[in-house]
A and B are shown apart, each in its own frame.
Chain A
Amino acid sequence: MTSVLEIDGLTVSFSTPDGDVSAVSDVSLSVEAGECLGLVGESGSGKSQTFMAAMGLLADNGTATGEIRLDGIDLLSANEKKLNTLRGERIAMIFQDPMTSLTPHMKIGRQLSEVLIEHQKVDARTGRARALDMLNRVHIPEAERRLDMYPHELSGGLRQRVMIAMALMCEPEVIVADEPTTALDVTVQAQILDLLAEVKDNLDAAIVLITHDLGVVAGLADRVAVMYAGRIVEQGTVGDIFALPAHPYTQGLLACTPRLDVETEALVTISGQPPNLQNLPSGCSFHPRCKYVVDQCKSERPALEAMDNGHIRACFRPHVEVAQ
């Protein structure tokens, strides 16, 4: 299988009045058609900005270097016009907050159909018919009636379904879902995840699932990449990451996930604070919070090293398999 989307040595930095801030440093990732890649990390770890760069949606003060190729086309060097032929058509994004991500003064039907009208030059009638079809596919009840509704007339869960339908309109090769369930009620979250799983099974698209929630990743992703302070610290199949986590940060994250089968007094946390991107610790960014820290970690940054089964991690500590 060849990768649809390849990210190679991506660095994203933002110029601020207090100096440049690196949000993403030397990140390399790839996704294949039909595959779901989970990208996990805390707020500020750079997981969203990695794909904002791919979509050409960085804030004005942000710059991206490196390479992002969509089916061989370099997205970072593409101009706005070229990008517009790809966005929505071949790579689509589902955003975190469905309550504010739909245009409030446009009817749902029009917001859906305009993607098709723009990219595939269909007429308004066809656009509307396809929009209705898509609303049915994402299981929106009374889809016909919803076409003529405004976003505020729909619940959060329905709006996220509309966002997903919108991303699917042109059947893109890559779908990036940026925290698609974070803003929703827990019961609705499960429904949206079911829907994404269905999309994954029915379409041959590559799905990137950006989240801070390991539970979300476990159910949906084939491979998982873990980011910390703008870098990938571990990457592997979902089975390896959950069963044989090889980076202390990943191990910490998994230990933090509350378990029903183990009786505990208090919730486990990773001690310390997420690092300040403007003033990153020397060496391995995770060392101030790592319980296995040695002197080498403070002066040198560990490179990503390959283990078996495509599993990679960036840590000096000799790998010991700890069953979680």
Chain B
Amino acid sequence: MWAYFTRRLIIAIPTLWVVITVAFFLMRLAPGGPFDQEAPLPPEIMANLKAAYGLDQPLWWQYFNYLGNLLQGDFGPSFKYKDFSVTELIGQGFPVSIQNGAAALFIAILFGIPLGTMAALRQNTGADHAAMTVAMTGIVVPNFVVGPLLALIFGIYLRDTMFALPVAGWNNGAFPNRILPVICLALPFIAYIARITRASLIETLRTNYVRTARAKGLPFRMVILRHAFKSAMIPVVTYLGPATVFLLTGSMVIETIFGLPGIGRYFVQGALNRDYTLVMGVTILAASMVIFINLLVDMTYAWLDPKVRYE
């Protein structure tokens, strides 16, 4: 098991290298550069800027130079946020995003799985239909609608009540400031998890081994928890992999709506500004998380299904 774990981590290195290489050259294929503005800079200033950042060198040189710096843990300076290195930008933004994302993930699991379970056990009743309608709504209403709506309710309508909540700003991570963005982030994930849990549990309840468990005279609750639940969680875990990456790397929309200093916005702004180093930084971060979380998901499979064994 541990040998497998280590081997997967080692295999991650060439995978990351491919991601870095592809991202590096794709970025340079895009027209324009980090210093292009509406009014073109005088050629001599442009030449100086390019020289300062090494952009006057041949592309292959820049590539190997970047790789070399990366190996020393240096992600380079941001081209757009002057005086900030990419490490600093990510170091400031990532903790905000990861805290909100982890809280949202926790809430999504905490509500999504019980909701889906209850719907499955009351399959095709009013309660089931109600829960699934709410879940469907949670999926189809985009968060740029939910976010302002929450802000309207808790920031305006309820502003003079005890339910008033701040609608923007991080405020050094004060608890009230986190409530609305986390809810807004979590809602669609609660809905997805509930739907997957329901479908998967209904299928598991039809298996022969659940029938065997019932034939043994076990109470229904025990049949569900002990015999059905673990297998029913396999599709949920499959979904949780990419969902976790998405949540932890920050959401541009949510962070913009609620004015949070996370890294979600760097994905978009970095690309639009041709901030080469920043794009490379967030890409490497996201790719590493995908690789690591997929590994965690595979490990979880082995726990849920003893037929899955890694060596």
Whether, in the assembled complex, B82 has its beta carbon less than 8 Å from a beta carbon of chain A, the answer is no
B208 partner, pick from A81, A88, A101, beta carbons under 8 A: A101
Contact yes or no, B306 A152, CB < 8 A: yes
Whether, in the assembled complex, B80 has its beta carbon less than 8 Å from a beta carbon of chain A, the answer is no
Cβ–Cβ < 8 Å partners of B213 in chain A: 103
B217 partner, pick from A87, A103, A105, beta carbons under 8 A: A87
Q: Is the interface of A mostly helix, strand, loop or mixed?
A: mixed
Cβ–Cβ < 8 Å partners of A89 in chain B: 217
Cβ–Cβ < 8 Å partners of A101 in chain B: 208-209, 211-212
Cβ–Cβ < 8 Å partners of B305 in chain A: 104-105
Q: How far is the CB of B236 from chain A (nearest CB, A)?
A: 15
Q: Which residue of B lies closest to A86 (CB)?
A: B217
Contact yes or no, A55 B208, CB < 8 A: no
Cβ–Cβ < 8 Å partners of B60 in chain A: none
Contact yes or no, A88 B215, CB < 8 A: yes
Distance, CA A40 to CA B231, complexed state (A): 35
Residues 98 to 128 of chain A near chain B (Cβ within 8 Å):
100-106, 114-115, 118-119
Q: How far is the CB of A98 from chain B (nearest CB, A)?
A: 9
Contact yes or no, B218 A103, CB < 8 A: no
Whether, in the assembled complex, B304 has its beta carbon less than 8 Å from a beta carbon of chain A, the answer is yes
A87 partner, pick from B209, B216, B226, B304, beta carbons under 8 A: B216
Cβ–Cβ < 8 Å partners of B209 in chain A: 100-104
Distance, CA A101 to CA B209, complexed state (A): 4
Q: How far is the CB of B120 from chain A (nearest CB, A)?
A: 13
Distance, CA A88 to CA B240, complexed state (A): 37
Whether, in the assembled complex, B163 has its beta carbon less than 8 Å from a beta carbon of chain A, the answer is no
Whether, in the assembled complex, A208 has its beta carbon less than 8 Å from a beta carbon of chain B, the answer is no
Whether, in the assembled complex, B219 has its beta carbon less than 8 Å from a beta carbon of chain A, the answer is yes
Whether, in the assembled complex, A92 has its beta carbon less than 8 Å from a beta carbon of chain B, the answer is yes
Whether, in the assembled complex, A43 has its beta carbon less than 8 Å from a beta carbon of chain B, the answer is no
Cβ–Cβ < 8 Å partners of B304 in chain A: 105
Q: How far is the CB of B202 from chain A (nearest CB, A)?
A: 11
Whether, in the assembled complex, A242 has its beta carbon less than 8 Å from a beta carbon of chain B, the answer is no
Residues of chain B at interface, number, CB under 8 A: 22
Q: Which residue of A lies closest to B210 (CB)?
A: A103
Residues 119 to 154 of chain B near chain A (Cβ within 8 Å):
none
Distance, CA A92 to CA B220, complexed state (A): 17
Q: How far is the CB of B207 from chain A (nearest CB, A)?
A: 7
Distance, CA A285 to CA B226, complexed state (A): 44
B289-308 vs A, Cβ < 8 Å mask (1 yes, 0 no): 00000000000000011110
Whether, in the assembled complex, A150 has its beta carbon less than 8 Å from a beta carbon of chain B, the answer is yes
Contact yes or no, A103 B227, CB < 8 A: yes
Q: How far is the CB of B307 from chain A (nearest CB, A)?
A: 5
Whether, in the assembled complex, A84 has its beta carbon less than 8 Å from a beta carbon of chain B, the answer is yes
Whether, in the assembled complex, B214 has its beta carbon less than 8 Å from a beta carbon of chain A, the answer is yes
B194-229 vs A, Cβ < 8 Å mask (1 yes, 0 no): 000000000000011101111111111010001100
Contact yes or no, B306 A55, CB < 8 A: no
Distance, CA A102 to CA B212, complexed state (A): 7
Whether, in the assembled complex, A1 has its beta carbon less than 8 Å from a beta carbon of chain B, the answer is no
Whether, in the assembled complex, B230 has its beta carbon less than 8 Å from a beta carbon of chain A, the answer is yes
B68-112 vs A, Cβ < 8 Å mask (1 yes, 0 no): 000000000000000000000000000000000000000000000
Q: How far is the CB of B110 from chain A (nearest CB, A)?
A: 23
Residues 19 to 64 of chain A near chain B (Cβ within 8 Å):
55-57
Distance, CA A84 to CA B220, complexed state (A): 9
**Among A57, A81, A88: residue with most chain B CB under 10 A:** A88
Contact A150-B307, Cβ < 8 Å, known A84-B218, A103-B227 = yes
Q: Which residue of B lies closest to A150 (CB)?
A: B306
Contact yes or no, B215 A57, CB < 8 A: yes
B144-179 vs A, Cβ < 8 Å mask (1 yes, 0 no): 000000000000000000000000000000000000
Q: How far is the CB of A83 from chain B (nearest CB, A)?
A: 7
| 12 residue pairs from A and B, CB less than 8 Å apart | A83-B217, A85-B217, A92-B216, A95-B212, A101-B209, A101-B211, A103-B226, A104-B209, A106-B226, A115-B217, A118-B222, A166-B212
Residues of A that sit less than 8 Å from B by CB:
55-57, 80-81, 83-89, 92-93, 95, 97, 100-106, 114-115, 118-119, 150, 152, 163, 166
Question: 9 shortest A-B CB distances, which residue pairs?
Answer: A88-B217, A87-B217, A88-B216, A150-B306, A100-B208, A103-B209, A101-B208, A84-B217, A105-B230
Residues of B that sit less than 8 Å from A by CB:
207-209, 211-220, 222, 226-227, 230-231, 304-307
